[in-house]
Structures are given as structure tokens and as C-alpha cells.
Amino acid sequence: MKLILLLAFAETITALVSNVQLYEIESRRTKLLRAGLWSKHLKQKNLLRTARKIDSKAVVAQQLNDYDDLEYVGNATIGSPKGQEFVVVLDTGSADFWIPDRNCITTCKNKHTFDSSKSKTYAADGRTWTVSYGDGSNATGFLGVDSITIGGINEEQLAISKQAFGQATSMSGFEQDVVDGILGLGFEDLSVTKVKPPLINAVNQRLLNEPLFTVWLARRGRKEGDVGGIITYGGYDKEHCGTTMLKVPLTRAAYWQFTITGVKVGNQGTCTKWDYDSKNDLYFIRCTSKKGNLGFFIGGKLFEIEPANYIIQIASNTCVLSLFGFSFGGYGPSWILGNPFIRQFCNIHYISERQIGFARSFQQGSHETSSGTSTDCVTELKKELNGSRRNALSLTTLMYSNTYLLAFLTGMTWQL
């Protein structure tokens, strides 16, 4: 009996709920727009994309990932007895964890690098890896195995043992970012390295109280470096999120992807006027103009994003839409729902159930209503987009972030 009680107690204390903080940063896109340098960066970015396509040896594995609109970062540590700390993108759009290795000198300037000789739990793996992202950035290196934590020193942490991770010996496209590397929260099918992602390992090791995690993002406007969100691993974030409004199945356990049936803008399903700037590849809108909510029909309900969450003010009366074109192949018509959607609605990721849920974010005043037929609003929006100065059917959007959802809708490809 004593043995049984001891084992039960051990089981209880290893299954945790961890609230890991996210820190707000100003995105690369917003910084460069304010400095008048965005169009120059865009040209360089397109050259990198073109060069990657020409190079027959390039590995193109994460085409949807574009970190120009990264606004939230987190901390992670690797090794023991003293963990080495890194600033990472916590990214549901990828599944690998990688950071710069100490042997990465030229391309890893001003980054925290990992020194395996300082960790007593490190083990070499021997395999190599290369990953390229949709914005032209890339990294290459080798694999190692060690104890890691999601969450930094002096923060709540989710500790995972024997986690394989990438040690980058070369990286490109991250020079202007504060991040050291990327920690993927997607499923194993997305893994370039073909190892189990950290959260899948955590579930398998029975480290989580429940096999899920909840993402809450605060509305933009805090100072850079302030806490801007919380990811709750192993449970529901009752402090920041309302009751779950809806759970929908994933269409495939790779990205956190699901089906939407319609899109609505404003009261009539038509778009507020905006002007497309081909030089900056952005849609500008007057900050003082009347703007409607942007809505998505999901599982028979309408989820609306308020203008405060999909409009960015970059000057006194200069605002841009958090909506932009991004061409990628092989995924079909889709939207990428990023920070604007997540700031409006908490996202609950059910790992084992292969489902995703949505709840009202207490800070946003979001709401849901029952949807009627969505055909007319989709038709109107398609007319509006097809009348713009470029082909809307090959497009995706602006506010991409470290955390996003992939949703499918017939006839359009947009990212939000």
C-alpha cells in the first residue's frame, strides 16, 4: 500500500500546468516602415526567395513561415546543472527546436550560443539538418540531445528531458531580430529533423496535467520587452480566457489547420476602402475612417476581429491593414490567422484530440454569434479583392506571428 501511494504521489507532482510568459517586441515590418526602409528590405527578401528556388539543393520545408511580423517571443533553456538561456520564437507553424551553436561565429553575431561542454546531460546525435523559411531566412547545423525548459530562468518552466534539438552552425535572415532560434509547437509531420517535437515529448513523458496548451495574447501597445501574452502548457487559462465557445477538428495533424466556411467584413459583407501600395506591398487605410469587424465563419459560428486588432498605426494618421499577400504553393486556398485573431480569441490546442478550440479573450471584448449562410459575404469579398491591383487568388496576409492557425476557404489564399 505504501508503494502504491508513493507512485501515485510521484505521478501527481510530475503532471504540471505551466504558465510561460511571452514578451512583446515591435515587428521587423513596423520598424522598417517607420524608418522608410521596408521597400528596400522587401527587395532583398524577394531576392533571397528567388535564389532559394534556383538552388536545386535548397531544402524548402517551412514555406508558410514569415517572421517579418513577429511580435511575441519567449525564453527557453538547454542543459544542466545550469541551463543556458535563449530567446526563441514559440511557433505553432513549425515543429523543430533549434538555437545557434558556439561554433556559429560569422552569421550568429549578437546571438546567445549553446556550449555543449557546459552541460552534464548533453549527448551528441550526429545527424545534420537544414531548414528554409518562406521569408528567405534559413539555418543549418547538427542535432544534439539534452534537457530543456520552455520558459526562462526565474520564470515558470516546462522541463523536458532527452529532447533532440538543432545546433545551428550557420543562419541567415535573423540578423535584425532579437530572437536566437525557433521552438516549434506543431506536430511531428512538420519536423524537418524528423525528431519528436518538444510538446509531443512532454505528452509522451506525461509531464502535462492535460495534453493541451492555451495561447492568450494581450492587445498591442505595451512597451517593448513587457509581458505581452501567456502560453499555458497542460491546462486552460482561466484568468485570461472565457468559456470555450467552439472546438473543431484539425484537417490534418501537422499545422494547427481547420476549415472555415466564410469571411465577412463590416455589416454587409463588403470591404472598407483601402489603398494598395505596390512599392511596400501593403494596404493603407485612413486611421480616422470607419472600419467594420472582420469575421470568419467557423463551425457554424461567426468569430469577429475588431479593427483595434487588425489595424496597425505607423504614423499620426497612417495606418496599415494587417492583411497582405503571400504566395505559397501546394497548400490550396487558405488563410493564416495570426496575432489579430489570437488577440481577439484565446486558442486552445488539444494535442491528443487533434482539435483546436476558441474562447473570448477577456481583454478584447470579443463575441460570437450564430452564422447564417456565408455564400454572399464570400462572393462580395472575392469581388473586392479581385478588383484590386493584383491577383487576390494567389495571396495570403500581414500580421503573421510566432503563433498562427491555418484555415481553408474555397477560392482565396490570404494570411491574417
Mean pLDDT computed over 383-410: 37
Residue 64: per-residue pLDDT: 36
Higher pLDDT, 176 or 205: 205
Mean pLDDT of 43-54: 46
pLDDT in tens, 129-142: 999 876 678 899 99
Q: Which residue has the cell 495574447?
A: 217
Query: What is the C-alpha separation between 174 and 138, in angstroms, rounded?
Result: 9
Residue 50 has pLDDT above 60, yes or no: no
pLDDT (tens digit, 9 = 90+) per residue, 84-101?
Answer: 999 998 888 889 999 999
Average pLDDT across the chain, whole number? 74
Residue-level pLDDT at 333: 55
Query: Lowest-confidence range among 70-84, 285-299, 320-334?
Result: 320-334
Please compute, for residue 73, the number of CA atoms within 13 A of its CA located in the half-sphere on the CB side.
Answer: 23
pLDDT digits (tens, 9 = 90+) for 136-178: 788 999 999 999 999 988 888 999 999 999 999 999 988 878 8
Q: CATH 2.40.70.10 residue ranges in the chain?
A: 16-217, 237-411
- Burial string for 286-324 (b: 16+ CB within 10 Å, else e) reads ebeeebbbbbbbbbebbbbbbbebbbbebeeeebbbbbb
- Rounded average pLDDT over 359-363: 90
324 pLDDT tier (thresholds 50, 70, 90):
low
Banded model confidence at residue 107, pLDDT cuts 50, 70, 90: very high
Superfamily of domain 16-217: Acid Proteases (2.40.70.10)
Q: Given a cut of 50, is residue 397 above it in pLDDT? A: no
String of DSSP letters for 374-407: -HHHHHHHHHHHHTSSS-GGG---S---SS-EEE
Report the predicted TM-score, pTM, of the whole model to 2 decimal places: 0.77
Q: What is the pLDDT of residue 156?
A: 87
What is the share, in percent, of the chain residues with pLDDT greater than 90? 36
Q: Which CATH number fits domain 237-411: 1.10.287.110, 2.40.70.10, 3.30.230.10, 2.120.10.30?
A: 2.40.70.10
pLDDT at 6 over 50: no
